[in-house]
Structure 1
């Protein structure tokens, strides 16, 4: 369930690049409200059309996430053990896994809204946390979602998402460590590739 909630959290952070670089909290709020309006108005997106969701993710989500940094953090010390070629493969497969998992789980959206926590940052800050909550329309407790973001030459990028105090990066670090323990770096790459192939097959069945 936590991964599905991460998927929803990603869905609330999609938008095209702005002309002026917004503050991180403004970026989260502006894009969340924009994408919620898009999703509510699009029956195919709400139904989880694989092709349409995948196109949306590729165009809108990826520019706001630094998947290379997420992968390095998830790998931990094992990152330095991988060759440059292996590193590229892992980043590519991990990025694809998150995107395909997102696509498969998009039907979890059920008219949730977003509440934004007070945000303050130092003028020179280059690493911040933007805190939000996903509010369920059925009265269930809100789900805390924190975006870890850092400043780049291309604006603020998300490098981790923490949902109900569980870090996405930390979760995958445990998974990656276990895969590497069992099969080495190549074993991790193989495992990621197989998961992606399985998700791709599921998408094809859904059409």
Structure 2
């Protein structure tokens, strides 16, 4: 499970185990609670994560092809992630110098890549299980603690994944993902993104992400 959660460009990251003082609850229950919040402005840090996990559960249980699974996941990815903030930190200072059209194209490619990766990973028969715990504050960051495992595994063997959340005009959004407590998605992908960007610019990075998305979408 841990390997399938890693983006091929190093885009996913892991965080330390959920603190024992934080009692996890199921993603399904959390998503029902989140459904009462405005769609465009999740009212709690957990709400967008619960919505994303619910979509992934539906994807793997749908029996649908990857195109339909992508369509199921896409709205929750759009709602959960602040793609602009993630790309800005991943690309670096040059991101602010992009034209609006270059930035839009890069965000579109990054979003498509993210959706395709999720649809490819959580396919029918995956049998992943999701839990979402309460949020905590660490060094000024709001972090939502979660785990992803397999229904045949013990809870202790589930992979802990934490999300760094920031509240903006559109509600709470993901700005980083942490694996094993310290491996940051943004940090892991920064080297790859900067290298591609320096060699071929925003258009080259967008093409690379589009190609990776196309590869994920082949079933």
Normalising by structure 1, we get a TM-score of: 0.72
1:25-54 per-residue CA deviation (whole Å, 9 max, x = no partner) reads: 4x26754775576467x3415xxx212211
Preserved CA contact (<8 Å) 1:64 1:156: yes
Q: 2:179 aligns with which of 158, 163, 166?
A: 163
**Contact 2:5/2:121 (CA < 8 Å) preserved in 1?**
no
> Does residue 1:133 correspond to 2:140, yes or no?
no
Aligned residue pairs, count: 191
Distance 1:158 1:18, change over 3 A: farther
Alpha-carbon deviations, 1:78-129, whole Å to 9, x = none? 213433322221111111111112112223832424263x54459xxx9511
Counterpart of 2:201 in structure 1 is: 184
| Matching residue of 1:4 | 4
Separation in 2, partners of 1:195, 1:120: 34
**In structure 1, C-alpha distance between the alignment counterparts of 2:91 and 2:77, rounded to whole Å:** 22
Q: Which residue does the alignment assign to 1:70?
A: 86
Relative to structure 1, is the Cα distance of residues 22 and 100 closer, same or farther in structure 2, using a 3 angstrom cutoff? same
Structure 1 residue 133: Cα displacement: 2.5
Match of 1:172 in 2: 189
For 2:137 and 2:87, the matched residues in 1 are separated by 26
Give ranges in structure 2 of 5+ residues lacking alignment.
14-26
Greater displacement, 64-73 / 15-24: 15-24
Structure number with higher helix proportion: 1
Is 1:93–1:193's contact at 8 Å kept on the other side of the alignment?
yes
Per the alignment, residue 95 of structure 2 pairs with 79
Quick one: distance in 1 between partners of 2:90 and 2:212?
A: 17
Deviation per residue, 1:63-86 (Å, 9 max, x gap): 122112222121112213433322
- For residues 6-32 of structure 1, the C-alpha deviation after alignment (integer angstroms, 9 at most, x for no partner) is 6899xx69957533653214x267547
Q: Which residue of 2 aligns with 1:44?
A: 63
**Larger RCO: Structure 1 or Structure 2 (Cα < 8 Å, ≥ 6 residues apart)?**
2
Please tell me the root mean square deviation across aligned C-alpha atoms, in Å. Answer: 3.6
- What does residue 96 of structure 1 align with? 112
Deviation string 1:157-176 (CA, Å, 9 cap, x unpaired) is 11221122322222221211
1:110 paired residue among 122, 127, 138: 127
Taking the aligned partners of 2:111 and 2:175, their CA distance within structure 1 comes to: 12
